[in-house]
A and B are shown apart, each in its own frame.
Chain A
Amino acid sequence: MALSSSEHILRPARVSTIVLSLALALFLNFLPWQDLRLAPDFVALVLTFWCVRQPRLVGLGVAWSVGLLVDAGNGVLLGQHALAYSLLAFLSIWLSRRILWFGPILQALHVAIILAAAQTLVLVVRIAAGDAFPGWAMYISPAAGALLWPMASWLLLMPQRRLEKEQTI
């Protein structure tokens, strides 16, 4: 695993952190947003993060189950987010080694592509099910998610960072 110069050896991720962050993301998704097409998909963002960082703990199974939960909670077609998040998890795991080489900005670019791919899959499913195209504004959501990536990954790595004192020992 690539370690940039500023990054020290991290503590192992705890399962409780992962579960909590996913619950928090679901909570953020359920907030009453004014325009849904502009609101980033926090669940997708957090799933991408964990798939990139901990591909052995969070994989397609987790992504699929969380996707089902999102589907049921939003009352959309059961399985559309499950499918999209499975693809997202696959892409993140596949690209995880590559993504971790880059700095935050270039990482965000990769993440934008992954999120847009998942959004496209949702679009394809809904159009196949007979819905109308809701406009290109729906791609603002993955872009907003990618913009949040540097901050999100900094926040999500917090519990794994060691204190300065520990590092010197």
Chain B
Amino acid sequence: MEHTPPPFFKRGPAPLVRLFFFASLSLALLVLDARFRYADGLRNSLALVAYPLQRAATAPIDFFGAMGSYLSTQVQLAEDNAALRAKTLTLAQNAQRYEAAEAETAQLRRLIGATEKIAVKATPAEVLYAGRDPFSHKVFINLGAHQGVKPGSPVTDEVGLVGQVTRVHPLISEVTLLTDRDLAIPVQVVRTGLRAVAFGAGASGMLELRLMAANAEIQNGDRLVTSGIDGTYPAGLPVATVVRIERDAEHSFARVVSKPAGGVDRGRYLLILSDESARPPRPEGAEQGKDRRTDKARRARTKDKGKDGDGSQ
């Protein structure tokens, strides 16, 4: 049945040739993006093209939300008002005590000659939609470079840490959630002051403390907060609560699983934290390591993979 078509039926290169062409083009892009992050300019302009569609997709939900609030009854509003007023009262009391404590801390810090703590600015943002990618845990928020969002800023909700801004487009930004496998957060156990690094555990929606010695002093119900020693997250933000510890004599490390405190997979409103003041410059030696920081997660992961492989054998 094979006929060679007459020349006037020619339709350009054969489909297989085209497939090879586009496949190699995609592979080149993939490598550029994954290994070298060269494709960010292209990504930004493409994201801007997709932006109207994304806004349109979330518009019906906004609309129904607005309709719902418009139709909410007088009684409900009065109830809400009363509840909120009571909450404000208790919060105001807490705030007063907090102010007093802050003043006291500042004074004590001055006494011992430590640097004063940096005031942190919080910008409210709204989640537009979750990233359509089963491999990672990301959400997109409605503020971008135009509103002054900077990559690397921590993101919280009213309870605790939620994630970190990882990519900033002109009008929206991408927030990687705590539970993503690529995110690592330096934490501290409130009860003992023990420092650790929490990694996202992926699909389970939990956090994992890696490289904890098997005899580390940690127990179920321990609260974890940011330690603030990395200069990215302000100290003392609630991160998670320990829910399970597996100590196995075979391994020298304990497996510590904890549940995020903040609403990682729920809630629509988030706060982007940013400190205005300039940080002290990094020491000379650390500057070189800065490039490698992006590889940190990957290296940790390969290490982890190796460990898993050993476990299965």
Closest to B308 in A: A132
- Structural contact, A60 and B22, CB atoms closer than 8 A: yes
State whether A78 and B39 are in contact (beta carbons under 8 Å apart), knowing that A26-B50, A59-B18, A86-B26 are contacts in the complex: yes
For residue A127, give the distance in angstroms from its CB to the closest CB of chain B. Answer: 9
List which B8-54 residues lie within 8 A (CB) of chain A: 11, 15-16, 18-19, 21-23, 25-30, 32-34, 39, 42-43, 46-47, 49-50, 53-54
Partner of A68, one of B28, B46, B58, B129: B46
| Cross-interface CB contact of B136 among A93, A131, A137, cutoff 8 Å | A131
Instruction: Kindly provide the distance from the CB of A59 to the nearest chain B CB, expressed in whole angstroms.
Output: 7
B33 contacts which chain A residues (CB < 8 A)? 77-79
The answer to whether B132 touches A23, judged by C-beta atoms less than 8 angstroms apart, is: no
Pick the residue among B19, B132, B174 that contacts A87 (CB under 8 A): B19
List the A side residues contacting B67 at CB < 8 Å. Answer: none
Inter-chain contact B18/A72, CB cutoff 8 Å: no
Contact partner of B53 (CB less than 8 A), chosen from A23, A33, A130, A132, is A23
CB neighbors of B among A24-73 (8 A): 26-33, 36-37, 39, 56, 59-61, 63-64, 67-73
Contact size range, B: 35 or more
- The answer to whether B194 has its CB under 8 Å from any CB of chain A is no
Chain A CB count within 10 A is highest, among B21, B32, B34, B47, for B34
Kindly provide the distance from the CB of A118 to the nearest chain B CB, expressed in whole angstroms.
12
Interface assignment of B110: CB less than 8 Å from any CB of chain A: no
B132 touches A64 (CB 8 A): no
What is the chain A residue whose CB lies nearest that of B13?
A60
Q: A80 — which chain B residues lie within 8 A by C-beta?
A: 26, 30
The answer to whether A132 touches B50 (Cβ under 8 A) is no
CB interface residues, B 167-206, toward A, < 8 Å? 167, 174, 181, 202-203
Chain A's closest residue to B298 (CB) is A130
B58 lies within 8 A of A86 (CB):
no
Q: How far is the CB of B101 from chain A (nearest CB, A)?
A: 40
Query: Quick check: A125 and B30 within 8 Å, CB to CB?
Result: yes
Contacts A68-B46, A78-B43; A36 near B133 (Cβ below 8 A) = yes
Nearest to A83 among chain B residues (CB) is B26
Check B289 for interface membership: any CB of A closer than 8 A: no
Asked whether A75 lies within 8 Å of B129 as measured between CB atoms, the reply is no
* B91 on interface, CB distance cutoff 8 Å: no
A110 sits at the interface (CB 8 A): no
Question: Which residues of chain B have C-beta atoms less than 8 A from A36's C-beta?
Answer: 130, 132-134
Residue pair B202, A132 in contact (C-beta under 8 Å):
yes
In the bound complex, do residue A56 and residue B46 qualify as a contact, i.e. CB atoms below 8 Å apart?
no
Q: How far is the CA of A126 from the CA of B58 in the complex (A)?
A: 27
A64 near B131: Cβ-Cβ < 8 Å? no
A114 nearest CB across to chain B (Å): 13
Specify which chain A residues have a CB less than 8 angstroms from the CB of B42 in the assembled complex: 68, 72, 78
Q: Is the CB of B53 within 8 A of A26?
A: yes
Q: With A79-B27, A86-B26 known to touch, is A32 a contact of B129 (CB < 8 Å)? A: yes
Query: Can you name 7 A-B residue pairings with CB atoms under 8 Å?
Result: A32-B57, A74-B131, A74-B133, A75-B174, A78-B29, A80-B30, A134-B203
8 tightest A-B CB contacts, nearest first = A72-B46, A73-B50, A79-B29, A83-B26, A30-B57, A79-B30, A86-B22, A78-B33
Which residue numbers of A lie inside 8 Å of B, CB to CB? 23, 26-33, 36-37, 39, 56, 59-61, 63-64, 67-80, 82-83, 86-87, 90, 93-94, 125-126, 129-132, 134-135, 137-138
Additional A-B contacts beyond A78-B43, A138-B134 (6; CB < 8 A): A30-B57, A72-B43, A73-B47, A76-B135, A80-B30, A129-B34
